[in-house]
Amino acid sequence: MVQSSILGFPRMGANRELKKATEAYWADKLSQEDLLKEGKRLRAEHWKIQKDAGIDIIPSNDFAYYDHVLDHIQLFGVIPERYNKNNLAPIDQYFAMGRGLQKPDQGIDVPALEMVKWFDSNYHYVKPTLQDNQVFKLSESPKPVVEFKEAKEAGITTRPVLLGPVSFLALGKADRGQSIDPITALDKLLPLYEDLLKQLKAAGAEHVQIDEPILVFDLEEKVKDAFKPAYEKIGALGDAAPKITLATYFGDIVHNKDVLKNLQGLHAIHVDLVRNPEQLEEVIGALGPQQTLSAGVVDGRNIWKVNMQKAIEAVETAVQKLGKDRVIVATSSSLLHTPHSLDAEKKLDAEVIDWFSFAVQKVSEVAIIAKAVNEGPAAVREQLDANAKSQKARAESKRTNVAEVKDRQQKVTEQMHNRKDPFPTRIAEQEKRLNLPKFPTTTIGSFPQTKEIRIQRNKFVKGEITAEEYEKFIEKEIQDVIKIQEELDLDVFVHGEPERNDMVQYFGERLDGYAFTQNGWVQSYGSRCVRPPIVVGDISRPAPMTVKESKYAASISKRPMKGMLTGPITCLRWSFPRNDVHQSIQAQQLALALRDEVVDLEKAGVYVIQVDEPALREGLPLRAGKERTDYLKWAVDSFRLATAGVENGTQIHSHFCYSEFQDFFYAIAALDADVLSIENSKSDAKLLKVFVDEAYPRHIGPGVYDIHSPRVPSEQEIKDRIAEMLQYLKPEQLWIDPDCGLKTRGWKETKAALTNMVNAAKYFREQKA
Ligand code: MET
Ligand SMILES: [Zn+2]
């Protein structure tokens, strides 16, 4: 029989209970015992959801209090000495590695381990950080064993999930001052996996899921070569270990087919057939004679209802080749990346809610598909009919077929992507109009989002104050930040973004084609969750979105005002995109909407306009090659289309929270933005060398201080940063600004830091005069 399986379930709970519990624990408002109890309660609840839906293979150890990679760091004792010093309880040591720990009264001050994006998702994992003489040690009561037993006691036999040894190491790095290449530690790590697998088997686990997602990357030879010895060794345990399903996701593994050859002894291979359905045949061809295919046909990364008919066809194709006993129906990846359940959505309109499926619903979809394959479509006729009806309704909906939007896209010309004249002509006109000093100072857009701002916004949302009252409040906020900027003597002002709840949501709410959830939270890192808007249809701009605030701000300030927009790629990447049209089409629709906004800002007298694209880098496809070059082409085109409608004398800025774009610098240059502001305070100024090497002619503001910490940089520190930057950039190119927006900061440190920043800029201005 075909079995049904879930690769992982969201951890937060229906109402983000885990977030609330961990944050209460961090604030000393919840005991450790109660935190652990809450974790246990959530796990039980999530297992039950899956069991009740009829899932055959239910995961355990997919739960984590902070991050599952961090779980493995602790599981294998990859704990840098600095976290061992203070005799912390295991859970506190765990959180200390995840988020740092500062207790001045007890003399504790350890920073967090590095956290980075999990593949191309918006989830972040903690990087395994190894020492040159790394010693591994399996924890005394290994979490996977404990949680397996916990489920068993609750009457559910689960399939524990482990991150595989090759991925665990390959995703890691050497600690500061160390030079170990993590993969070279494989031999030392493997015995711990063997021990762990034996313990799981002894506890009653017949199966285990081992994730090796790095197989979707282009791998260095030495990493590729690590799979064979690793899995030979683990495989040699035979009946002393559970049967292994090796899971990959977020890409295809066809380019690593030769690795599969060495994995034919494993029980099953899982592949993502949502992202790469075309890999099915090749993967089947590469399986061993006994091996099972786990077919990931229900999307773990997005919120759309599965197309049952298509999913069933894919599974049937596998069944024809392998037989029912060698096929598993599964989610494409862990459901970690989807919100908990649609049940909490009371405000979504009936048309679109019928198109969505969150984790709880996806669990049922997997069960239904398995049943359809096992017992024939008649057994689930009603569900299949409802699904087909929903697919058809979505395809034919007015929202997904807006003729005006499509017509406008048809009429986009090459010319519309180009500014009127090249940069030298433009900058001359801009300088005449803006009359800025050398080393102009500015900020990235947002100023502190104070408690008062949040209170007033909530009141407005709840209808407790009128639109007019709220507008007055926002105007007052704008007046205040302008006054502060005058006092600080900044050169290019911003209005401070007080009206924006979030840089994507704000725009989504003003565009047609978007929907919003009330409770569609997805874990981003640790206890932090985001609630991405959903692109449901063709996008257009019914009315100006930011002009009122920017125009008002420009009208009351002495200095040039910078209008502030979120770029098309960032809007798309930080939303749930449509899966029925290519992302390039959605990006172009967003670009056209933003183009109108840019032109309207210019008409309103705003002659500096910043279009933020912090998500451009993370959207880069995981593997080099055509997909990547295609992405860069349409991403760059969408930015150019959004911004090229203005006159030469209007200055276009863009902002990135990354400066690590050595590999695709040509695309950054191709944006043709007059001024780029980039995150740089945490990076090596050497990264700027690429601007020199590529003879980048336009203006750049590499961030001179880190805004993620309340720490105030001294004037001297900022001067040193600027001096360093001047080794790479020409004085006439350089802008002085912070790393990113200041919305998460308090006013006190913001004013102090900006005062030092302006003074540092003035120092160089006088020096170079
Ligand atoms: C994550 S990038 C943020 C840019 C935005 N303009 C801000 O200042 O908050
Ligand atoms: Zn930023």
Task: Give the pLDDT confidence of 751-766 residue by residue, as tens digits.
Answer: 999 999 999 999 999 9
Same domain? 343 vs 467:
no
Residue of 442, 444, 571 with the most ligand 1 atoms within 8 Å of its CB, for mutation: 444
- Tokens in use for 258? 């030769």
Same domain? 366 vs 424:
no
Same domain? 340 vs 484:
no
pLDDT of residue 500: 96
Question: In this structure, is residue 509 part of a structural domain?
Answer: yes
Question: In this structure, is residue 77 part of a structural domain?
Answer: no
Nearest to 13 by CA among 531, 360, 362, 353: 360
Task: Confirm whether residue 571 is marked as ligand binding.
Answer: no
Same domain? 383 vs 408:
no
Task: Determine the atom of ligand 1 nearest the C-alpha atom of 610.
Answer: 6
Same domain? 58 vs 185:
yes
Residues 6+ apart with CB under 8 A from 181: 174, 222
Last residue of a domain, one of 355, 376, 396: 396
Same domain? 353 vs 488:
no
Q: How far is CA 244 from each of CA 9, 85, 264, 270, 272, rounded to the nearest angstrom?
A: 19, 37, 11, 11, 17
Tell me the C-alpha distance between 110 and 162, whole Å: 28
- Burial environment of residue 113 by CB neighbours within 10 A (0 to 12, 13 to 18, 19 or more): buried
Ligand 1 in contact with 655 (CB < 6 A)?
A: yes
Same domain? 356 vs 415:
no
Tell me the C-alpha distance between 681 and 155, whole Å: 52
Last residue of a domain, one of 343, 376, 396: 396
Tell me the C-alpha distance between 372 and 308, whole Å: 9
pLDDT of residue 687: 81
For atom 9 of ligand 1, the residue with the nearest CA is 741
- CATH number of the domain that 597 lies in? 3.20.20.210
Write out the residue range of the structural domain in which residue 255 sits: 3-9+51-62+133-396
Tell me the C-alpha distance between 290 and 278, whole Å: 22
Question: In this structure, is residue 27 part of a structural domain?
Answer: no
Contact 173, 69 (CB under 8 A): no
Residue 657 has pLDDT above 90, yes or no: no
Contact 45, 402 (CB under 8 A): no
Nearest to 589 by CA among 523, 518, 641, 628: 641
Question: In this structure, is residue 15 part of a structural domain?
Answer: no
Residue 659 has pLDDT above 70, yes or no: no
pLDDT of residue 570: 97
Question: How does pLDDT run across 357-385, given as a tens digit for each residue?
Answer: 999 999 999 999 999 999 999 999 999 99
Tell me the C-alpha distance between 69 and 53, whole Å: 28
Lowest mean pLDDT among 212-216, 510-514, 711-715: 711-715
Question: In this structure, is residue 716 part of a structural domain?
Answer: yes
Question: In this structure, is residue 156 part of a structural domain?
Answer: yes
Question: How does pLDDT run across 683-709, given as a tens digit for each residue?
Answer: 677 788 889 888 999 999 999 998 888
pLDDT of residue 541: 98
Same domain? 351 vs 430:
no
For the segment 585-596, the average pLDDT, to the nearest whole number, is: 98
Ligand 1 in contact with 272 (CB < 6 A)?
A: no
Dihedral angle of Cα 231, 236, 239, 243, to the nearest 10 degrees: 10
Question: In this structure, is residue 390 part of a structural domain?
Answer: yes
CA angle 605, 606, 611 (to 5 degrees): 155
Three-state SS at 545: coil
- Tokens in use for 142? 């290994």
Tell me the C-alpha distance between 461 and 104, whole Å: 40
- Tokens in use for 350? 């009936």
Average pLDDT over the chain, rounded to an integer: 96
Residue 741 has pLDDT above 90, yes or no: yes
Same domain? 267 vs 288:
yes
Backbone phi, psi, residue 236, to 5°: -65, -15
Tell me the C-alpha distance between 476 and 556, whole Å: 11
- Tokens in use for 434? 């803006």
Last residue of a domain, one of 353, 372, 396: 396
Ligand sitting nearest the alpha carbon of 503:
1
Nearest to 166 by CA among 128, 195, 137: 128
Tell me the C-alpha distance between 89 and 115, whole Å: 22
Residue 769 has pLDDT above 70, yes or no: no
Question: How does pLDDT run across 314-354, given as a tens digit for each residue?
Answer: 999 999 999 999 999 999 999 999 999 999 999 999 999 99
Ligand 1 in contact with 657 (CB < 6 A)?
A: yes
- CA 284 from centre of chain: 31
Count how many Cα atoms sit within 13 Å of the Cα of residue 296 in the half-sphere of its side chain: 32
Q: What string of DSSP letters covers 397-413? A: -STT--HHHHHHHHT--
- Tokens in use for 429? 């006109």
Tell me the C-alpha distance between 412 and 408, whole Å: 7
> Higher pLDDT residue, 29 or 680?
29
For CA atoms 701, 703, 704, 707, the dihedral sign is positive
Question: In this structure, is residue 68 part of a structural domain?
Answer: no
Percent of the chain with pLDDT over 90: 91
Residue 154 has pLDDT above 70, yes or no: yes
- Burial environment of residue 77 by CB neighbours within 10 A (0 to 12, 13 to 18, 19 or more): middle
C-alpha 383 to ligand 2 mean position (Å): 45
For atom 6 of ligand 1, the residue with the nearest CA is 445
Nearest to 417 by CA among 645, 694, 687: 645
For the segment 467-471, the average pLDDT, to the nearest whole number, is: 97
Same domain? 569 vs 497:
yes
Task: Confirm whether residue 23 is marked as ligand binding.
Answer: no
pLDDT of residue 524: 94
Tell me the C-alpha distance between 712 and 723, whole Å: 19
C-alpha 504 to ligand 1 mean position (Å): 10
Ligand 1 in contact with 743 (CB < 6 A)?
A: yes
Q: How far is CA 703 from each of CA 358, 679, 691, 755, rounded to the nearest angstrom?
A: 39, 5, 15, 15
The verdict on whether 708 is a catalytic residue reads yes
Place of tokens 């593997």: 623
C-alpha 559 to ligand 1 mean position (Å): 21
Q: How far is CA 255 from each of CA 261, 278, 279, 623, rounded to the nearest angstrom?
A: 12, 13, 10, 10
CA angle 105, 106, 107 (to 5 degrees): 95
Task: Confirm whether residue 469 is marked as ligand binding.
Answer: no
Ligand 1 in contact with 740 (CB < 6 A)?
A: yes
Ligand 1 in contact with 494 (CB < 6 A)?
A: no
Q: How many domains, the chain?
A: 2
Question: How does pLDDT run across 75-124, given as a tens digit for each residue?
Answer: 999 999 999 998 999 999 999 999 999 888 888 889 899 898 899 998 99
Three-state SS at 117: strand
Same domain? 378 vs 416:
no
Same domain? 208 vs 265:
yes
pLDDT of residue 42: 98
